[in-house]
Chains A and B, each alone.
Chain A
Amino acid sequence: MPGITVNNKIGSGRSGYMLVSPYIIFFALFVAYPLIFSFVLVFHHWSIVGPMEFVGLGNFAEMFSDSVYWKSIINTLVFLLIHVPLQVVSALVLAEILNRKIPARAFFRAAFFLPVVVSGVAVTVMWKQLFSTDIGILNQMLGMIGINRVPWITDPAWAMPSIAIMATWKNIGLYVVLFLAGLQSVPRQLYEAAEIDGANTVQKFLFITVPAINPVLVMVLILSTLGGFSLFIEPYVLTGGGPMNSTLSGVLYIYRQAFSFFRMGYAAAIGFTLALIVLTVVMLQRKYVEQEI
Chain B
Amino acid sequence: MIATDLFIAARNLARHTRRNLLLASAIGGVTAMLVLLGGLTTGMREAMLHSATTLMTGHVNLAGFFKITSGTAAPIVAGWEKPWDAVKDRIPELDYMAPRGRGWAKAVADGGSMDLVLAGVELSREPGFHKVIQVVDGSLEELGKPGTILLFQDQAKRLGVKPGDTLTLSAPTTRGASNTADVRVAAVARNIGLLSAFNAFIPADTLRQLYQLKAGTTGAVQIYLKDPADSAKVAARLRAALRDAGWRVMDPDPQPYWQKLMFKVNAEDWTGQKLDVTTWEDEMSFLSWIVTAVTWLGNVLVTVLMVIVAVGIVNTLAIAIRERTREIGTLRAIGMQRTQVLRLTLLEAFLLGLGGAVAGALLGAAVGAGLNGAGIELPETMQYFLLQRNLHLAIHPGQVAVYVAFVTALTTVAASWPSAYAARMRPVTAMHHVG
| Interaction A to B | no
